[in-house]
Amino acid sequence: YLIIEVTDTSPQREHDLKAKDYASSKIADYWLLDVNIRRLYVLREPTQEGYQSKLALSESGIISPLHFPNLSIAVREMLPPVSAQ
């Protein structure tokens, strides 16, 4: 139903390859959480060539998985806390 990948260092090329593989496998909902820039990328509408729908959410965003639309998840809740320095 859903793949959530968490990254802090992986190159974009690696994510692009994975996204194409997931899309060709018909994974309807692929989320990539980048903890360094505190952003969630949501990829949907898979085809053999990749995902047709791509959305970027900031840490203040809220998202619902496609197969669980009654569940609302705040991006901030998926991120590590910001340390005060």
Q: For residue range 11-51, what is the model confidence (pLDDT) as tens digits? A: 778 888 899 999 999 999 999 999 999 999 999 999 999 99
What is the pTM assigned to this prediction?
0.89
Report angle CA 56, 39, 48 to the nearest 5 degrees.
45
Among 62, 75, 68, smallest CA distance to 34 is for 75
Among 14, 13, 70, 22, smallest CA distance to 42 is for 22
> Does the structure show a pLDDT above 90 at 68?
yes
